[in-house]
Structure 1
Amino acid sequence: MLPTEQRVGAVVTVMNEQETIGGVLAELQRLPLTELIVVINGSRDASYDIVRSQTDATIVHTHAPLGHDVGRALGAKLARADVVLFLDGDIPVKAEELVPFALTAAQGSDIVLNDISPYVGRFEDRDAVTMVKEFVNRVMGRGDLGINSLTAVPHAMRSEAIARIGHPHLAVPPKAQVLAMLHGLVIRAAASVDVIAGNRTRAMNTGQHNPVAELIVGDHLEALHEALTAQGKRMAFPDPYRRRVMTMA
């Protein structure tokens, strides 16, 4: 049970997840959700058949791969719940672990992130993706968020936050997070789910400078560009002492 009267829904993105999607859905069905939206994109396996036979979910089915982030943006566009949980079809998360995300959002937090800090080790062992996540949070004045980002599932968002950010911006999660900060939305990392150990190893996300890592780093650079455009080239970091005009004399 969820101790809230607000409507809670979930968006799940799926691409060739026939081995795991059943477990993801089984845990979601243990929650009193008012809606379930499953975005199946580019799947060549039995993912669609499993979702259709196991649930009465609203299914968005595209033959071309969209990417998980675009899938979440489409799901967010369709969602009507007050609070929306976002998950991927390859990592089953226990219903008990999802409750804090939904409840924290229902209690007023606009965005609730997965706190993966306990699972990444010491700074010198971190990769470029982890470092750039923390860098963006720090330059936005949210060092308290550490490495936590909308790139990691599960996370939750209030419907008002989705509307304020604009669902198309969810296609680039770090950009959406920066926009949320610029709008003054309440962002918290309220619970920890170890999705690092459970992340499926694929050719695209393995090895140094792999395509997924490069994509995520690029997403954070795009987020920084958004912040620089909104706040100026020094953002929130003042330069009150240099009289640079004197060098032009």
Structure 2
Amino acid sequence: MTNAANYKTAMKAFIDGFASVHPEEIHSDWVLLPVNKKVAAVVMAMNEEQSISSALRELERMPLNEMIVVVNGSTDASLTLARTSGKAIVLNYNEALGHDVGRAIGAKITTSDIVLFVDADIPVAAEQLVPFVRAASRGVDVVLNDLSRYVGKFADWDEVTIMKYFLNRSNRREDLSVNSMTAVPHALTRKAIEAIGSANLAVPPKAQAIAMQRGLKIGIGGSVNVFTKNRHRTDNVGLSNPISKLIMGDHLEALGWSMKEENPRLKYIDHLRRRDRVKDANQHYHPHL
């Protein structure tokens, strides 16, 4: 397998060679995947008529085994546009499923070895998705988007960024910094989906906590600045907006799960406090009658 630096050159040479034999079949914008495993993509879409076609077009440039589009609660043309893709399996729900539930549904019905997760409101170039697939093919079970370079210094972090870091740090993964399954794109191996449980993907921080606690290999794939690409809505802008409150709650749920699974203090050992003495005191206390 070629390294990342030479991959683009090798891919272009392969496509040019193929085109010389089959000129009627080739597309100049194809992006081949440097893996011999089946790769799927799961796409969430809710009222994304402005961007869904671009998001799907980038995925169609790759030889994906499956492309699952979960359209939910849409009142615009998202469903119609999704159905124009000749490669997508489109699941439509009239009601809004809630944040990230569609990812869990999509993951449950996929059969591929590696699954990419993207959102229809943030088109990501196929070339930027290749590193995530590459990392998963090389044994990284949970492949995250590296956003640490975009969040600035600690003093500038918002509450969600701080919670992302605290969850990782509490689970002894300071190396992951603020990187989280809450952010797209990310990728999971089949092993990760089965170990985490597809239903738990509906709460990404909890899914990440499960991955950390169960010893899955978690690492970085690429670095896609989704902050500048994310479409502003009434529920995701402003201090303590509804989406940030939801994500904060998800992290509290994840921390609660981790504390129950391991111990109430996680990595923060209680070095000085001798709690056992409280119990001893109760046992030796004999009040005068």
Taking structure 2 as the reference length, the TM-score comes to 0.84
Query: Is 1:148 paired with 2:179?
Result: yes
Shift of 1:51: 1.1
State the one-letter code of the partner of 2:277.
Answer: M
Inter-partner Cα distance in structure 2 for 1:24 and 1:55: 14
User: Equivalent of 1:219, from 232, 250, 253?
Assistant: 250
Which AA in structure 2 matches 1:154? P
How far apart in 2 are the matches of 1:118 and 1:130? 12
Which residue matches 1:244?
A: 275
User: Is residue 57 of structure 2 the alignment partner of residue 26 of structure 1?
Assistant: yes
Out of 41, 46, 68, which is 2:72 matched to? 41
Q: CA deviation at 1:55?
A: 2.6
Q: How many residues align?
A: 249
**Shift in CA distance, 34/124, structure 1 to aligned 2, threshold 3 Å:** same
CA offset digits 1:62-102 (Å, max 9, x no partner): 00001241000000001111000000000110000000001
Matched letter for residue 25 of structure 1: L
- Residues 85-134 of structure 1, C-alpha deviation per residue, up to 9 Å, x if partnerless? 00000011000000000110011110100001111111111100000000
- Equivalent position SS for 1:184: coil
Gaps in structure 2 of 5+ consecutive residues: 1-31, 282-289
Pair 1:97-2:152 in alignment: no
The answer to whether the aligner puts 1:83 opposite 2:114 as a matched pair is yes
Q: Which runs of 5+ in 1 are unaligned?
A: none
Shift of 1:188: 0.3
Matched, 1:167 2:198: yes
Q: Which has the larger radius of gyration?
A: 2
Shift of 1:240: 4.4
Question: Who is 2:102 aligned against?
Answer: 71
Query: How many Å separate the matches in 1 of 2:48 and 2:276?
Result: 59
1:11 maps onto 2:42 in alignment: yes
1:107 and 1:11 mapped to 2: Cα distance?
21
The one-letter amino acid paired with 2:248 is V
Partners of 1:68 and 1:88 within 8 A in 2: no
Higher relative contact order (CA 8 A, sep 6+): 1
What SS does the corresponding residue of 2:254 show, helix, strand or coil?
helix
State the one-letter code of the partner of 1:118: R
Cα distance in 2 between the residues matched to 1:4 and 1:34: 12
Cα separation, partners in 2 of 1:245 and 1:56, compared to 1, 3 Å? closer
Counterpart in the other structure of 1:192 = 223
What is the RMSD of the two structures over their aligned residues, measured on CA atoms? 1.1
Percentage identity across aligned positions? 51
For the residue of structure 2 that corresponds to 1:151, the secondary structure is coil
Q: Is the 8 A contact 1:83 1:105 kept in 2?
A: yes
Runs of 4+ in structure 1 over 6 Å off? none
User: Matched residues in 1 for 2:34 and 2:178: separation?
Assistant: 29
Q: Secondary structure of 1:204's match?
A: coil
Residue 110 of structure 1 is aligned with which of 121, 137, 141? 141
Separation in 1, partners of 2:175, 2:261: 22
